[in-house]
């Protein structure tokens, strides 16, 4: 079912919102077991992956024929580093479901030629037939993937420099507090190429970015506002992240 309006689905709390996102993924895999999933990392996604593992253990969903492509990865961080998005995905999802790691893709942040690795990533997505469902979180500054404010609409997978507030927000994931300053990310155009997009935002810290993104026109100051140009985006929020919500 195409969702052509940007009216968000607002649920009471972060768990309910994450469960609703997980159900979207489960339904897709039940209908299309070889679906191509676009995945995201970040604290917002942790309960989604938790719910997917539960559904897998309950026999409701299999990932064995699916393919996955993650949005982004830090540059210069070895995949075994606990802060890398590869190891995060393995720990939070892949190690607990029936997906062969060879079917999971994360941009190569250790490539000697990042430009080449970025082009290869785009090609791998194209060869997989494109992404059926792209899962997105949103940064406090409106970023999607690591497309920071100012990112062009036509951007594709490339190396980017992270903004100071993104580095600060992600510091908690690094025991030594040294967050890599650059990353390789799908671009805004890459994200918009997905057949459907589900955005999950929870918590009051996301409210302003969500409100800007839902304003209805593209403003480069809020990369998530680019989603208004896509014909099938579902926004799933908890009540704290919903525009107009008052602090509890």
Please choose, out of 25-33, 99-107, 118-126, 142-150, the segment that lies near ligand F6R by the rule CB under 6 A.
142-150
What ranges in the chain are assigned the alpha helix state H?
Answer: 14-31, 46-57, 85-92, 114-127, 164-170, 188-192, 207-213
Residues 62-121 touching ligand F6R, rule: CB under 6 A, are: 71-72
Please choose, out of 19-27, 118-126, 140-148, 226-234, the segment that lies near ligand F6R by the rule CB under 6 A.
140-148
Gap between the Cα atoms of 47 and 118, Å rounded = 29
Q: Which is nearer to ligand F6R, 132 or 148 (CB)?
A: 148
Q: Which is nearer to ligand F6R, 166 or 196 (CB)?
A: 166
Active site residue 13: no
The answer to whether the beta carbons of residues 231 and 193 sit under 8 Å apart is: no
Active site residue 50: no
What ranges in 32-182 are assigned the alpha helix state H?
Answer: 46-57, 85-92, 114-127, 164-170
Q: Which is nearer to ligand F6R, 62 or 219 (CB)?
A: 219
Residues 6-65 touching ligand F6R, rule: CB under 6 A, are: 40-44
Helix crossing, 85-92 with 46-57: angle to 10°?
40
The answer to whether the beta carbons of residues 188 and 151 sit under 8 Å apart is: yes
Residues noted as catalytic: 72, 141, 143, 148
| Interacting residues toward ligand F6R by CB under 6 A | 40-44, 71-72, 137, 139, 143-146
């Amino acid at each position: 079912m195409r969702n052509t309006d940007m009216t968000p689905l607002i649920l009471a709390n972060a768990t309910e919102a994450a469960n609703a996102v997980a159900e979207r993924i489960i339904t897709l895999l039940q209908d299309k077991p070889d679906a191509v999933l676009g995945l995201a990392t970040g604290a917002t996604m942790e309960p989604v992956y938790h719910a997917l593992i539960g559904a897998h253990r309950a026999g409701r969903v299999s990932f064995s024929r699916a393919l996955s492509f993650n949005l982004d990865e830090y540059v210069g961080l070895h995949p075994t580093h606990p802060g890398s998005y590869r190891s995060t995905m393995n720990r939070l999802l892949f190690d607990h479901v029936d997906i062969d790691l060879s079917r999971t893709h994360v941009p190569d942040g250790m490539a000697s030629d990042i430009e080449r690795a970025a082009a290869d990533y785009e090609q791998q997505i194209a060869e997989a037939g494109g992404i059926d469902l792209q899962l997105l979180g949103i940064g406090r500054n409106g970023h999607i993937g690591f497309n920071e404010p100012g990112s062009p609409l036509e951007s594709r997978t490339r190396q980017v420099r992270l903004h100071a507030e993104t580095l600060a927000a992600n510091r908690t994931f690094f025991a030594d507090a040294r967050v890599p300053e650059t990353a390789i990310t799908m671009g805004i155009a890459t994200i918009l190429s997905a057949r459907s997009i589900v955005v999950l935002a929870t918590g009051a810290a996301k409210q302003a970015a969500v409100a800007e993104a839902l304003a209805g026109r593209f403003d480069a100051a809020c990369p998530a506002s680019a989603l208004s140009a896509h014909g099938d985006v579902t926004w799933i929020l908890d009540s704290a992240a919903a525009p107009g919500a008052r602090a509890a």
